[in-house]
Amino acid sequence: MFMAFGISVTYFMGAFLNWYYLAYACSILPFFGFSAMFFMPESPVWLKNKGLLDEAEKSALWLKNEAAIPAAKKPVKIEINSNDTEYKPEQTNLLANPTQQR
Protein backbone atom coordinates (compact mmCIF):
# COMPACT_ATOMS: atom_id res chain seq x y z
CA MET A 1 0.00 0.00 0.00
CA PHE A 2 2.75 2.45 0.95
CA MET A 3 4.79 1.41 -2.05
CA ALA A 4 1.87 2.10 -4.39
CA PHE A 5 1.33 5.46 -2.69
CA GLY A 6 5.03 6.35 -3.07
CA ILE A 7 5.03 5.41 -6.74
CA SER A 8 1.88 7.48 -7.31
CA VAL A 9 3.35 10.53 -5.56
CA THR A 10 6.59 10.19 -7.52
CA TYR A 11 4.66 9.88 -10.77
CA PHE A 12 2.60 12.96 -9.88
CA MET A 13 5.68 14.99 -8.91
CA GLY A 14 7.43 13.86 -12.10
CA ALA A 15 4.79 15.65 -14.13
CA PHE A 16 5.89 18.99 -12.64
CA LEU A 17 9.60 18.56 -11.87
CA ASN A 18 12.70 17.92 -13.95
CA TRP A 19 14.29 14.53 -13.35
CA TYR A 20 17.16 15.90 -11.25
CA TYR A 21 14.79 17.86 -8.97
CA LEU A 22 12.67 14.74 -8.68
CA ALA A 23 15.76 12.74 -7.69
CA TYR A 24 16.58 15.29 -4.98
CA ALA A 25 12.99 15.28 -3.72
CA CYS A 26 12.94 11.48 -3.55
CA SER A 27 16.24 11.36 -1.64
CA ILE A 28 15.02 13.51 1.27
CA LEU A 29 13.23 10.75 3.20
CA PRO A 30 16.02 8.15 2.87
CA PHE A 31 18.53 10.79 3.99
CA PHE A 32 16.61 11.38 7.23
CA GLY A 33 16.32 7.62 7.80
CA PHE A 34 20.04 7.17 7.25
CA SER A 35 20.83 10.08 9.58
CA ALA A 36 18.60 8.64 12.31
CA MET A 37 20.64 5.42 12.32
CA PHE A 38 23.56 7.29 13.90
CA PHE A 39 21.47 7.78 17.05
CA MET A 40 20.49 4.10 17.37
CA PRO A 41 22.44 2.04 19.90
CA GLU A 42 24.14 -1.21 19.01
CA SER A 43 22.14 -4.40 19.39
CA PRO A 44 22.15 -5.69 23.00
CA VAL A 45 22.84 -9.21 21.76
CA TRP A 46 25.85 -8.05 19.74
CA LEU A 47 27.21 -6.11 22.72
CA LYS A 48 26.73 -9.12 25.01
CA ASN A 49 28.57 -11.38 22.59
CA LYS A 50 31.46 -8.89 22.60
CA GLY A 51 31.54 -8.97 26.43
CA LEU A 52 30.20 -5.44 26.95
CA LEU A 53 27.48 -6.33 29.45
CA ASP A 54 26.91 -2.87 30.96
CA GLU A 55 26.52 -1.29 27.54
CA ALA A 56 24.24 -4.15 26.48
CA GLU A 57 21.97 -3.45 29.45
CA LYS A 58 21.87 0.29 28.64
CA SER A 59 21.08 -0.49 25.02
CA ALA A 60 18.27 -2.87 26.01
CA LEU A 61 16.78 -0.26 28.35
CA TRP A 62 16.91 2.38 25.60
CA LEU A 63 15.30 0.06 23.06
CA LYS A 64 12.61 -0.94 25.57
CA ASN A 65 11.85 2.73 26.31
CA GLU A 66 12.48 2.65 30.04
CA ALA A 67 10.51 5.86 30.61
CA ALA A 68 7.31 4.21 29.34
CA ILE A 69 7.51 1.32 31.84
CA PRO A 70 5.79 2.05 35.18
CA ALA A 71 8.15 2.04 38.18
CA ALA A 72 6.40 -0.94 39.80
CA LYS A 73 6.93 -3.11 36.71
CA LYS A 74 10.54 -2.16 35.96
CA PRO A 75 12.89 -5.12 36.12
CA VAL A 76 15.92 -4.82 38.35
CA LYS A 77 18.17 -6.06 35.59
CA ILE A 78 17.38 -6.87 32.00
CA GLU A 79 18.60 -10.23 30.84
CA ILE A 80 19.68 -10.55 27.26
CA ASN A 81 18.88 -13.97 25.93
CA SER A 82 21.06 -15.17 23.15
CA ASN A 83 22.93 -18.27 22.22
CA ASP A 84 26.67 -18.08 22.66
CA THR A 85 27.13 -20.11 19.52
CA GLU A 86 26.05 -18.88 16.14
CA TYR A 87 23.38 -20.81 14.31
CA LYS A 88 24.69 -22.21 11.05
CA PRO A 89 22.04 -24.01 9.00
CA GLU A 90 22.93 -27.17 7.18
CA GLN A 91 21.59 -28.06 3.76
CA THR A 92 19.44 -30.82 5.23
CA ASN A 93 17.76 -28.34 7.63
CA LEU A 94 16.87 -25.71 5.04
CA LEU A 95 13.52 -27.29 4.24
CA ALA A 96 12.68 -28.21 7.84
CA ASN A 97 10.07 -26.47 9.93
CA PRO A 98 11.55 -23.12 11.10
CA THR A 99 10.36 -23.68 14.68
CA GLN A 100 12.47 -26.83 14.93
CA GLN A 101 15.69 -25.19 13.76
CA ARG A 102 16.73 -23.73 17.12
Q: Where are the domains of the chain?
A: 2-38, 41-73
With cut-offs at 50, 70 and 90, classify the pLDDT of residue 72: very low
CA distance 13 to 37: 28
CA distance 40 to 62: 9
- Percent of the chain beyond pLDDT 70? 64
Closest CA to 25 of 15, 36, 14: 14
Predicted TM-score (pTM) of the model is: 0.44
